[in-house]
Amino acid sequence: MSDLPAVLGGNPVRPQGPPAWPLADPEVFDALTRAFRDGSWGVYHGPDCAALEQALRDFFQVEHVLLCGSGTCAVELGLRALTVGAGAEVLLAAYDFPGNFLDIHAVGALPVLVDVDAANWNLAVDHLDAAHTPACKAIIASHLHGGLVAMEQLSNWARERGLAVLEDAAQCPGALVQGRPAGTWGDAGVISFGGSKLLSAGRGGALLTHRADVWQRARTHALRGNLVCPLSELQAAVVAPQLRRLTERNARRAANVADLLRLLNGVPGLQPLANPRGLGQPAYYKLGFQYDAAAFGLPREAFIAAVRAEGIALAAGFPAAHVGRSPRRFRQGTPLGEAERAHRGCIVLHHPVLLGTTAEMDEVARAIRKMEEYRDALQGCQIPDKTGGPDDVAAGE
């Protein structure tokens, strides 16, 4: 009886709901009080942005960092700095953060949509050839939901054809891809300090690059007498202590993911996104799953709503870029069958619970197992999606 799903009148597994984010970090509290005392919360310029840039250069082992107002803005600055503009084409996974598609439009270029890999629903490097034309000037490669893109192969492929690579590591600061920090393989890389991200300042982002010319052009675009999309001193002050804890927290999340996936092993229709062995160590902003409604026996939206009612922050993934859009706004580079499947079947678990205890991993698994057990009873019921909590996915964040 206690195992009845909450949407059918049972007790939710987590009546308190998902864990809060951002964390109540004592170091962030210290940074905030220090910023109040010394007045740096209200100044244009100060040492905090410079200190964060240095800390990011050290952490990522990269020569240049440009802080800015969001990850989305960093992608646009990156494209401009790579001289991608009107008439150019940019290769992009058809399943990706929607802002990347729109950033390509923002610089006057055309997205060329490439299918995603069948096992991890991230950009499929072996499909790039089929989509490539001489008009292609750049590739955006995002590591999504615990999936990783094979950046070494992608970089080699791009170099041979003279394409620039923009690596979107907004979801995985601290991840390792083929021996290098995610975000540092490309001509430019991007991270985000958005309010739901692993490093949070409410808003914010950064462009990373080894190339002085790319950094210089990005800076020129960002500087119009004043900075057009700055990160503030206050934001920099709160990110710095989180960066110092990132490696330890990423390890904690990864260990919990391993536990959770063991507990969920064998649930029909629920497959974790799977990277090729040896590709690297993901970082988990979202833990992504391939959900097969027919195999599980419940429509995706009903499954998500029922699990959310248990107090678990599960959500649908991104919409695919080509679905519901005018075909004039992109070129279809390859068949998009896997992106279509991701559009219909991707499910993500939001990261805060992944810093929890073993008992909390049990809770997540128990909530999902409830739906497996009660799928027939859940069939016909109208499930309102009334779980509050951070707006982690609606805006694609």
Ligand X SMILES: *Cc1c(COP(=O)(O)O)cnc(C)c1O
Name beta bridge partners: 111.
90
Q: CA nearest 22: which of 283, 242, 347?
A: 242
Closest CB to ligand X among 189 and 205? 205
Angle made by CA atoms 180, 183, 184, in degrees to the nearest 5: 55
Least gap, CB of 192 to ligand X (angstroms) = 3
Length of the chain: 397
Closest CB to ligand X among 21 and 97? 97
304, 327 contact by CB (below 8 A): no
Angle made by CA atoms 133, 134, 135, in degrees to the nearest 5: 90
Position 192 contacts ligand X (CB under 6 A): yes
Contacts with ligand X by CB under 6 A: the residue count is 14
Q: CA dist 326 to 115, 330, 354, Å?
A: 18, 8, 38
Least gap, CB of 69 to ligand X (angstroms) = 8
Q: Tell me whether the omega of the peptide bond preceding residue 18 falls within 30 degrees of 0, making it cis.
A: no
Stretch that binds ligand X, among 46-54, 69-77, 106-114, 129-137 (CB under 6 A): 69-77
Position 72 contacts ligand X (CB under 6 A): yes
Question: From CA 164, how far away is CA 158, in angstroms rounded?
Answer: 7
Closest CB to ligand X among 200 and 302? 200
Quick note: the x/- pattern for ligand X over 295-334, rule CB under 6 A, is ----------------------------------------
Position 242 contacts ligand X (CB under 6 A): no
Least gap, CB of 18 to ligand X (angstroms) = 18
Site for ligand X in 197-226 (CB under 6 A): 205
Closest CB to ligand X among 12 and 181? 181
Position 170 contacts ligand X (CB under 6 A): yes
Q: CA nearest 185: which of 139, 252, 119?
A: 139
Which residues have a Cβ under 8 Å from the Cβ of 9 and sit 6 or more positions away? none
Position 142 contacts ligand X (CB under 6 A): yes
Among 21, 60, 95, 97, binds ligand X (CB under 6 A): 97
Least gap, CB of 198 to ligand X (angstroms) = 10
CA 37 to the chain's CA centroid: 35
Residues lying near ligand X in the complex (CB under 6 A):
70-72, 97, 99, 142, 144, 168, 170-171, 192, 194, 205, 397
